[in-house]
């Protein structure tokens, strides 16, 4: 029998699992408290839980499935973790420090198939989805890192903006959100959780209907189909009109503000005419939409794209403001380490391949 991560169970799912084995909800609360409040890493450490329950949990579940492969720390306090999964795959998780608290950016897939032409995450195709437990464990690993540093600090905000398309792993994503929101556990407020999508229109509708009450960000990155298709191949299947229809449904259904992410690429999508066209596209939605302008982190493999200079960023921002559009410029973190999402992972995999080739060449030469 293959054991799965216990972090993948919501509180209700754990309660039901124990109930099926004739244990009460109180026992589920005990286990949950040990996992998320006391943050034990072994079932045997749950000292006030019945031994028969400990044995049962040990037979079916594991707590730790991720190991820290590499960690980079920036001068601004940003920590980028490269975790190794049980099958040897690597994923990235990032801890960022803000004035308002500690934010963690999590990954939802091993690789990405969306294929944005500027993105380091898509350099390696998706090989599989992460389980709900593997997504939750990223938060737990970061929190344990803080605990071990003997800092009285807690993860207060979560952004689902790491490697992969979250809405392409929808069920595990929603279970993850249910776990970290639970008031019995990590108790991360819904308003402090943001999910980012490249624009899967049908899933935006499903997300609106799910009533999770967390924030939504949509990667737009261009104001028209011709340009968006050139830099984001997903636009071939889901053009802007269809995407905006799903956004309208989300706004009407939830009455929640939405973030439109717009990465600025030098001389590609960062000119005044692009800002005006973007403002026209947003139009009446302006009171429930905020444009988040993102300075580009260059990636060696995508050398056709360069970073927009500060003056052009300011001019784009000012143009949107004059058109009555709410907007902001994303505060950068970890610029002195591998800042682009997926960059550390792709570099490590490339390095491992080069080392393997070197070893094979040396072995062949010795024959």
Contact 246, 288 (CB under 8 A): no
**CA distances for 76 relative to 216, 335, 337, 345, angstroms:** 27, 9, 10, 21
Evaluate whether 122 touches 67 at the Cβ level (below 8 Å): no
Q: Which residue in the block uniquely carries the two structure tokens 């191949």?
A: 233
- Residue 92 annotated in active site: yes
Task: Name the active-site residue from 105, 112, 119, 341.
Answer: 341
Cα(262)–Cα(281) distance, integer angstroms: 13
155-160 sheet: strands from edge to edge = 67-73, 79-84, 90-98, 101-105, 155-160, 193-197, 215-219, 258-264, 289-295, 327-329
Residue in 20, 92, 241, 354 annotated catalytic: 92
Judge whether 261 counts as a catalytic residue: no
Question: How far is C-alpha 24 from the geometric centre of its chain's CA atoms?
Answer: 34
Q: How far apart are CA 366 and CA 226, in angstroms?
A: 55
Catalytic residues: 92, 341
């Amino acid at each position: 029998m293959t054991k799965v991560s216990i972090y993948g169970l919501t509180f209700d799912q754990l309660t039901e699992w124990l109930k099926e084995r004739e244990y009460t909800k109180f026992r589920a609360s005990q286990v949950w408290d040990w996992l998320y409040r006391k943050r034990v890493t072994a079932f045997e450490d749950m000292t006030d839980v019945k031994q028969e329950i400990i044995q049962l949990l040990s037979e079916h579940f594991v707590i730790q499935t991720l190991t820290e492969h590499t960690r980079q720390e920036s001068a601004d306090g940003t920590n980028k973790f490269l975790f190794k999964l049980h099958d040897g795959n690597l994923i990235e998780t990032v801890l960022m420090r803000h004035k308002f608290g500690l934010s963690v950016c999590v990954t939802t897939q091993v690789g990405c198939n969306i294929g944005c032409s500027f993105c380091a995450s898509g350099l390696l195709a998706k090989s599989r989805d992460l389980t709900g437990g593997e997504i939750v464990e990223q938060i737990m690993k970061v929190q344990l890192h803080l605990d071990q540093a003997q800092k009285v600090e807690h993860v207060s905000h979560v952004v689902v903006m790491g490697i992969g398309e979250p809405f392409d792993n929808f069920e595990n994503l929603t279970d993850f959100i249910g776990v970290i929101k639970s008031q019995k556990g990590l108790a991360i407020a819904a308003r402090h959780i943001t999910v980012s999508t490249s624009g899967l229109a049908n899933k935006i509708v499903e997300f609106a209907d799910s009533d999770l009450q967390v924030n939504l960000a949509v990667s737009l990155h261009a104001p028209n189909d011709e340009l968006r298709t050139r830099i984001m191949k997903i636009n071939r299947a889901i053009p802007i009109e269809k995407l905006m229809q799903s956004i309208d449904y989300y706004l009407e259904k939830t009455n929640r503000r939405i973030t439109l992410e717009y990465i600025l690429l030098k001389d590609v999508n960062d000119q005044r005419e692009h800002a005006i066209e973007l403002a026209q596209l947003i139009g009446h939605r302006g009171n429930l939409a905020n444009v988040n302008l993102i300075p580009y982190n260059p990636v060696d493999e995508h050398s056709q794209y360069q970073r927009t200079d500060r003056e052009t960023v300011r001019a784009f921002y000012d143009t949107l403001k004059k058109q009555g559009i709410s907007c902001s410029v994303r505060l950068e973190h970890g610029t002195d380490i591998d800042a682009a999402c997926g960059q550390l992972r792709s570099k490590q995999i490339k390095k491992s391949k080069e080392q393997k080739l070197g070893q094979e060449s040396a072995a062949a030469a010795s024959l």
